[in-house]
Amino acid sequence: MRLRQHLGLVSSPSIYTSAIARFGNNTPHRRRTTRSRTMSSSASDAAPFEKPRAVVKKVLAESQPEGQGATVRRSIGRHELRNLDPFLLLDEFTVSKPAGFPDHPHRGFETVTYMLEGAFTHQDFAGHKGTIKTGDVQWMTAGRGIVHSEMPAGDGVHKGLQLWINLSSKDKMIEPRYQELESKDISRGESEDGGVEARVIAGEALGAASPVYTRTPTMYVDFTMRPGSRLHQPVPEGWNAFVYVVDGEGVFGRETATAHYCLVLGPGDGVSVWNRSTRPLRFVLVAGQPLGEPVVQHGPFVMNSRAQIQKAMEDYYYGKNGFERAGQWSSSA
């Protein structure tokens, strides 16, 4: 298994909540592992948890314009679900040329981009350039500052998920870095009966563990379940967790959900899922340890106070404290 890690100023796909103009605009731990097991496909199977998690909120990710001619389905980050500590945003993006996400900055958080279909080319103001393809993951820590672009790498439709994860106050101004996993290197787990498959982006599931370092403790697993299969997946107590349905229909606890629904899970030590349909079910399960800190966000800047946001905007405008190269750079896309 190969995990590519890059330190320093880097590029990475990251859809941003509200466009901020190019330079010149002055508008204001280690991973905690978890174990999982699947039960037989009998409808009478009981969850092996003391405190099974129930769905406490259900949000449909509705389409909205973003970037330059692109469309995203946003769930976390909408007015119905402003954030879910430590998660700030979840977008399912769909992009075709010439649309995309031109040059824009970030500070104070991490982005995780998971390509479902197609490929994206990313560039940054430190001169890095690369492409992530179907099934690849890029985990980017923006830290003190990055300016980059992300555009479709070819013709056709390009789809993916992007998750924003907050950084603690002590980590918001660290040096940028990213970790990349090619599809072939992502850890995979499978239930004993073969009914459930897991691609483990962070954390652990079905006996497979990801090598990704999560500064904010996080689990992120892409599950595919055959018709009739069941899954009982442990989730660390005290962590906030949600499910996003990519395709198909499933029963999560007692709540039925179809594609494009985000389900916030209540407290407990695990979640049970049943694919009672005649089609495969695909969803991601994401959980993270809450930071319990103030969140102040202005577009692609996420800090702990309004004063810090103002400072981030000034740093970007004047090219200081991590944004020194912003004024002289523009992507070639």
Give one DSSP letter per residue of 115-177, joined into a string. Answer: EEESEEEEEETTS-EEEEETT-EEEEE-TT-EEEEEEESSSS-EEEEEEEEE--TTTTTSPPE
Please check the confidence at residue 94 and state whether its pLDDT lies above 80. Answer: yes
In the structure, what pLDDT confidence band is assigned to residue 126 with cuts at 50, 70 and 90? confident
**In this structure, how many other beta carbons lie within 10 angstroms of the beta carbon of residue 308?**
20
CATH of the domain at 174: 2.60.120.10
What is the structure's pLDDT at 45?
Answer: 57
Q: Is residue 25 part of a domain?
A: no
Tell whether residue 260 is among the known ligand binding residues: no
| Domain range for 271 | 30-326
**Model confidence over 6-52: pLDDT tens digits?**
544 333 333 333 333 333 333 334 444 444 444 332 233 556 888 99
Q: Is residue 2 part of a domain?
A: no
Tell whether residue 6 is among the known ligand binding residues: no
What is the structure's pLDDT at 76?
Answer: 98
What is the structure's pLDDT at 47?
Answer: 65
Q: Whole-angstrom Cα distance, residue 257 to residue 193?
A: 24
Tell whether residue 150 is among the known ligand binding residues: yes
What is the structure's pLDDT at 22?
Answer: 35
What is the structure's pLDDT at 44?
Answer: 35
Q: Is residue 21 part of a domain?
A: no
Q: Is residue 122 part of a domain?
A: yes
Q: Is residue 313 part of a domain?
A: yes
**Model confidence over 189-225: pLDDT tens digits?**
999 999 999 999 999 999 999 999 999 999 999 999 9
User: Once rounded to an integer, what is the mean pLDDT over residues 219-234?
Assistant: 98
Tell whether residue 104 is among the known ligand binding residues: yes
Q: Is residue 192 part of a domain?
A: yes
Q: Are strands 261-265 and 240-247 parallel, antiparallel or unpaired?
A: antiparallel
Q: What is the mean pLDDT of the chain?
A: 87
**Model confidence over 99-108: pLDDT tens digits?**
888 889 999 9
Q: Is residue 19 part of a domain?
A: no
In degrees and rounded to multiples of 5, residue 62 shows phi and psi of -90, 150
**Model confidence over 111-123: pLDDT tens digits?**
999 999 999 988 8
Is it true that the peptide bond before 152 is cis, omega within 30 degrees of 0? no
What is the structure's pLDDT at 33?
Answer: 42
Q: Whole-angstrom Cα distance, residue 293 to residue 170?
A: 11
What is the structure's pLDDT at 37?
Answer: 44
Number of domains in the chain: 1
Q: Whole-angstrom Cα distance, residue 324 to residue 301?
A: 16
Q: Is residue 267 part of a domain?
A: yes
> What's the whole-model pTM score?
0.88
Q: CA quadruple 71, 73, 76, 80: dihedral positive or negative?
A: positive
Please check the confidence at residue 264 and state whether its pLDDT lies above 90. Answer: yes
